[in-house]
Amino acid sequence: MEEILNLPQEDVEVVDIQFRPGQKIYFFDPDGVTYSPGDHVIMDTARGAEYGIVTGGNHKIPPKDVVAPLRKVLRLATAQDEKIVAENRAKEKKAYDVCLQKIADHRLDMQLVSAEVAFDGSKILFYFTADERVDFRELVKNLASVFHTRIELRQIGVRDKAKMVGGLGICGRPFCCASFLEDFQPVSIKMAKTQNLSLNPTKISGTCGRLMCCLKYEQEAYEDLIRTSPKMESFVDTPEGRGTVVEIDLLRQRVKVRMEDAPETISVFKNTDIMVLRSGKAKKNDPPIPADLAPISGGGKRIQKSAEEEEKLLLEPIRFRYSTEKIVEEPAEEIQETAVEEESDEVKPSRSRRRRKPHNDQPKEAKPEQSRQEKPQKESREKPPKEPKPDGAGEADQSQKQHSRRRPNHRRRKPQQNADGQQ
């Protein structure tokens, strides 16, 4: 059963149909009939039978791209259908003028865009733009009394208005939204930064007042070009010598380089003719670039190395260009053993002579021996110095004092020695 469910579903055959020029394209089921681009057809829609133009002939798409339910194409349009469509276009012009007059009479803050009459004449749809919500209930009643049919008013945005009306953009070509773009995609100011455009809103905005749609569908191409181009202020090597990148032409895949030997000279090179020695602007901690690193330029003299040195370089383990890490060729097991040995050889830190206090904070009672020994020490400190005694008596007193200063139950440790043998 699982194998049956996992089988790939067959592609669905559809045709691309557009209700009006510049509007969104929809998929319809051809119902076994072959249609060609430019054919006028009648298809079944949620609003009933509608008139449309075929923009793409029969082709197959994956089931995931189909929006259910998939409506069918009823038939090719006849001469009678073309006549009905022409009459509806005349009604739309009349309805547009009447609606403008009614809007002025009711003093409504709204801008009428267009009027559409259904193919069967059962409904008239008015599109308008407004900054705020508009109460058009009385307007709908007046229009219904004039046309004696169902009236719908639909508020749209400024981008939808530009798509429906059409026109010429700042580039001199027809609007992208009205010519080939099917739907609107979100556009951000970050795209303008990526494409090195001016951040002035008036220069990157279209006729509708929003950011230009071309910023979106050109973004992927610019991202691919950026991956193959050096960054600004990169230090590169060229056939004419080393220099710094001062300008990048993404579309032509060229860069302008200020030469290091002659700062007043700026040369143009292709991306394939240069080698990046440092990507981006230099930083404080960047290591210096070796003099013999660049193999492109022929102006500088190379340091000629002997055959033995070259063999050493070839046999040397691979390192990163600016890596500061040491490379150890020993296996991992030996490395662990040496680390353990080093730890054992290290001198352990001496323990403090102070004993840890017991868990209970109550101090223990001092032993009588300790108290007896501490009292004479204190008294001896407070008493004035005595007269010198004979030699034998002085040595005896000194030995007694040393014996009294020792703490009981404590082992005396040997002094630690340094590497030089000094205490």
Answer yes or no: is pLDDT of 279 > 70: yes
What's residue 376's pLDDT?
A: 47
Domain ranges of the chain: 9-77, 84-156, 178-226, 228-278
- Residue 94: left if φ>0, alpha if ψ -120 to 50, beta else—which one? alpha
Most confident of 13-22, 147-156, 277-286: 147-156
**pLDDT for 325 beyond 80:** no
Going by the DSSP 8-state scheme, the letter that residue 71 receives in this structure is -
For residues 163 and 155, give the distance between their C-alpha atoms in angstroms, rounded to a whole number.
Answer: 14
Q: Confidence band (pLDDT; 50, 70, 90) for 172?
A: confident
The tens digit of pLDDT for each residue in 19-55 reads 887 778 888 888 888 888 888 999 888 878 889 999 8
Topology (CATH level 3) of domain 228-278:
SH3 type barrels. (2.30.30)
In this predicted structure, what is the pLDDT of residue 231? Answer: 87
- What would the pLDDT profile of 49-96 be if each residue is shown by its tens digit? 889 999 888 888 888 888 878 888 888 888 998 899 999 999 999 999
The reply to whether the predicted model has a pTM over 0.75 is no
Report yes or no: 86 and 119 within 8 Å, Cβ to Cβ: no
The alpha carbon of residue 317 and the mean position of all alpha carbons in its chain are separated, in whole angstroms, by 36
Average pLDDT in the chain: 75
Q: What are phi and psi of 74, to 5 degrees?
A: -75, -50
Q: For the segment 302-323, what is each residue's pLDDT rounded down to a tens digit?
A: 445 556 655 554 444 444 444 4
Look up residue 38 and give its two tokens. 């430019």
pLDDT band at 3 (very low <50, low <70, confident <90, very high): very low
Which helix or strand (DSSP H or E) is residue 13 part of?
strand 12-18
Q: Considering only CA atoms, which of 136, 165, 164 is closest in space to residue 152?
A: 136
Looking at residue 274, its pLDDT comes to 87
Specify the DSSP class assigned to residue 273: G
Vertex 156: Cα angle to 151 and 160 (nearest 5): 125
Topology of the domain covering 84-156? GMP Synthetase; Chain A, domain 3 (3.30.300)
Q: What is the pLDDT of residues 177-232, one digit of tens each?
A: 888 887 788 888 989 888 888 888 888 888 888 888 888 888 888 888 888 888 88
**What distance in Å separates the CA atoms of residue 137 and residue 131, rounded to the nearest whole number?**
18
Cis bond leading into 388, ω under 30°?
no
299: CB partners within 8 A, 6+ apart: 240, 241, 261
- 332: pLDDT strictly greater than 70: no
- What pLDDT is stored for residue 337 in this prediction? 47
Q: Could you tell me which residues come within 8 angstroms of residue 156 by beta carbon, excluding any fewer than 6 positions away? A: 113, 127, 128, 129, 164
Mean predicted confidence (pLDDT) in 316-344: 45
How high is the pLDDT of residue 209? 86
Q: Are 231 and 245 in contact (CB under 8 A)?
A: yes
Q: Of 154, 252, 170, nearest to 209 (Cα)?
A: 170
pLDDT at 16 over 60: yes
The alpha-carbon radius of gyration of the chain (Å, integer) is: 46
Please say whether the dihedral angle defined by the alpha carbons of residues 199, 200, 201 and 206, taken in this order, is positive or negative: negative
Backbone angles phi and psi of 388, in degrees to 5: -65, 140
- How many residues belong to the chain? 423
Q: What average pLDDT does this structure show over 163-174?
A: 86
